[in-house]
């Protein structure tokens, strides 16, 4: 299997040897062309954005921590100059642009990027059920969904999900808060504290000895056998994807507020840690729809779990697993420990994504320490993969090649780079301390 694949795709040799790589997507085309090729669905993003606004009064009521933002779950963005200086010194480069941290690590309720797609999908499902039962109308105030009558109603239904941890937290916490029965199927790599937290919130956790794909498969099977059960399918869900995509519009407002212009002369670079692909894919999709050719999106994956890279580079998407290349899929980056990519995301990224960068696990902890020391911010190891995107873009031949291909030489001085911090604020202090003291090399 491996030899056949490498004969056909010799550029995957480095990937199969577990070397860090920067894969430039050869299919990337100008936005209008790419959007046409994939049937970019702007109306679906509109719909998700509108739905989240409608649900804001309910969110505010059920999760009082969202009161300050009126029930809108959004994360801060912060310029991190000291971190930028530190990275430049350590990796010996000089970036003319600015570096910002998008702190989904601190999103309300779930403490990770999964607060976007996961919560959106649960809300949408609750809306569908309530409307079908004639209990909710289009123009109702959705905060009524917090009433006991609805809790009893949702209590007749079940929601299930397979997860390495963070998606489980997001789905579990939201579903339980609305009164659903919720079962989270957790892969072996899921951290104990996440299981404990979920159980404390009222979710049922089923543990598997196997990896993420198996947990999803088992969850899907269990759910399909139960007519009252709904499965949140991380490998296939368009709802999750669209929930994530709304982030782009929120980001535009934030950048506007900071007087940060994005246009032809002021390019935007975004580095997104990638697991199965849904979260980074949805956000990149939204970003391309907003900023078109002026935004450049890159995914970052662990060298031991480069599933999106392998799926996109071969065009086989979910029909190939990193194990087919002899790669074990085992990594400290638990949110990214995925061997087989989403069925839909790679296809939607084919003409829009700049490329995929891979990172050795030990660096995750180095970045984490550096961020802690320079900015006094803590994000989880997986989220730190984002920094590798920025560093590789600035220090490699592939980065220079990308700049040349897109005629960006004269505009790099105006560039804004965003490292998308995908999780971390729910990590218990003791575990965070252990992370900060982990040296793999």
Ligand X SMILES: *Cc1c(COP(=O)(O)O)cnc(C)c1O
Residues of this chain that interact with ligand X (CB under 6 A) are: 112-114, 166, 273-280, 335-336, 380, 382-383, 422-423
User: At which residue do the structure tokens 């999750």 appear?
Assistant: 240
Q: Distance between CA 328 and CA 330 in Å, rounded?
A: 5
Cβ 380 to ligand X, closest distance in Å? 6
Nearer to ligand X, 170 or 411 (CB): 170
For the record, the structure tokens of 253 come out as 């407002």
User: At which residue do the structure tokens 């947990």 appear?
Assistant: 215
- The DSSP-derived string for 84-132 is HHHHHHHHT---SSEEEEEEGGG-TTTSBTHHHHHHHHHHHHHHHHHHH
Cβ 140 to ligand X, closest distance in Å? 31
Cβ 25 to ligand X, closest distance in Å? 16
Could you report how far apart the first and last alpha carbons of the chain are, in Å?
Answer: 32
Q: Distance between CA 309 and CA 14 in Å, rounded?
A: 12
Q: Distance between CA 299 and CA 287 in Å, rounded?
A: 13
Q: Distance between CA 396 and CA 403 in Å, rounded?
A: 11
Within 13 Å of residue 39, how many CA atoms lie on the same side as its CB? 3
Cβ 333 to ligand X, closest distance in Å? 8
User: At which residue do the structure tokens 């929930």 appear?
Assistant: 243
For the record, the structure tokens of 319 come out as 């029909």
Nearer to ligand X, 83 or 240 (CB): 240
Q: 387-403 burial string, b = 16+ CB within 10 Å, else e?
A: bbbbbbbbbbebbeebb
Q: Distance between CA 222 and CA 160 in Å, rounded?
A: 8
Q: Hey, what's the torsion of the CAs at 57, 60, 61, 63, to 10 degrees? A: 150
Strand partners, 356: 23, 299
Nearer to ligand X, 166 or 411 (CB): 166
Nearer to ligand X, 87 or 349 (CB): 349
Cβ 302 to ligand X, closest distance in Å? 11
Strand partners, 162: 185
DSSP 8-state code for residue 82: H
Nearer to ligand X, 146 or 312 (CB): 312
Q: Are strands 416-421 and 98-103 parallel, antiparallel or unpaired?
A: parallel
Nearer to ligand X, 118 or 179 (CB): 118
Nearer to ligand X, 273 or 311 (CB): 273
Torsion sign (Cα): 82, 84, 90, 92: negative
Q: Distance between CA 321 and CA 338 in Å, rounded?
A: 9
Nearer to ligand X, 160 or 163 (CB): 163
Nearer to ligand X, 127 or 380 (CB): 380
Cβ 275 to ligand X, closest distance in Å? 3
Whether 218 and 208 have beta carbons less than 8 Å apart is answered as: yes
Cβ 382 to ligand X, closest distance in Å? 4
Cβ 364 to ligand X, closest distance in Å? 11
Whether 63 and 177 have beta carbons less than 8 Å apart is answered as: yes
Cβ 409 to ligand X, closest distance in Å? 31
Cβ 423 to ligand X, closest distance in Å? 3
Q: Distance between CA 111 and CA 109 in Å, rounded?
A: 6
Nearer to ligand X, 87 or 216 (CB): 216
Cβ 190 to ligand X, closest distance in Å? 11
Nearer to ligand X, 144 or 330 (CB): 330
């Amino acid at each position: 299997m491996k030899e056949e694949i490498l004969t056909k795709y010799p550029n995957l040799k480095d990937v199969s040897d577990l070397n860090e790589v920067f894969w430039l997507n050869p299919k990337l085309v100008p936005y209008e062309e790419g959007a046409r090729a994939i049937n970019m669905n702007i109306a679906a993003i509109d719909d998700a954005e509108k739905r989240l606004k409608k649900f804001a009064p309910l969110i505010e009521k059920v999760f009082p921590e969202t009161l300050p933002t009126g029930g809108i779950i959004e994360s801060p963005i912060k310029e991190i100059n000291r971190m930028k200086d530190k990275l430049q010194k350590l990796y010996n480069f000089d970036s003319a642009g600015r570096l910002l941290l998008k702190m989904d690590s601190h999103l309300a309720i779930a403490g990770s990027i999964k607060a976007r797609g996961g919560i959106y999908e649960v809300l949408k499902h609750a809306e569908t059920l309530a409307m079908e039962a004639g209990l909710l109308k289009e123009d109702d105030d959705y905060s009524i969904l917090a009433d006991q009558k609805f809790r009893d109603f949702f209590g007749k239904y079940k929601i299930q999900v397979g997860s390495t941890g963070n998606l489980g937290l997001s789905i579990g916490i939201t579903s339980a808060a609305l009164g659903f029965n919720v079962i989270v199927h957790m892969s072996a790599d899921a951290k104990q504290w996440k299981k404990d937290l979920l159980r404390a919130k009222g979710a049922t956790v089923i543990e598997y000895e196997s990896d993420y794909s198996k947990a999803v498969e088992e969850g899907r099977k269990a759910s399909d056998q139960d007519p009252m059960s709904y499965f949140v399918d991380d490998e296939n869900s368009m709802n999750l994807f669209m929930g994530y995509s709304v982030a782009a519009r929120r980001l535009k407002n934030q950048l506007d507020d900071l007087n940060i212009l994005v246009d032809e002369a002021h390019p935007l670079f975004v580095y997104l840690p990638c697991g199965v692909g849904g979260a980074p894919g949805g956000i990149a999709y939204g970003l391309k729809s907003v900023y078109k050719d002026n935004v450049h999106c890159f995914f970052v994956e662990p060298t031991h779990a480069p599933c999106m890279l392998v799926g996109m580079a071969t065009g086989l998407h979910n029909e190939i697993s990193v194990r087919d290349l002899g790669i074990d899929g085992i990594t400290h980056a638990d949110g990214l420990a995925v061997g087989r990519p989403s069925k839909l995301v790679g296809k939607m990224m084919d003409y829009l994504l700049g490329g995929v960068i891979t990172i050795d696990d030990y660096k995750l902890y180095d970045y984490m320490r550096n961020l802690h020391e320079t900015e006094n911010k803590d994000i989880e190891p997986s989220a730190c993969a984002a920094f590798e995107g920025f560093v590789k873009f600035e220090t490699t031949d592939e980065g220079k090649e990308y700049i040349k291909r897109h005629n960006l030489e004269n505009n790099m001085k105006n560039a804004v780079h965003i490292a998308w911090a995908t999780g971390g604020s729910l990590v218990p202090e003791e575990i965070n301390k252990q992370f900060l003291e982990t040296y793999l090399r």
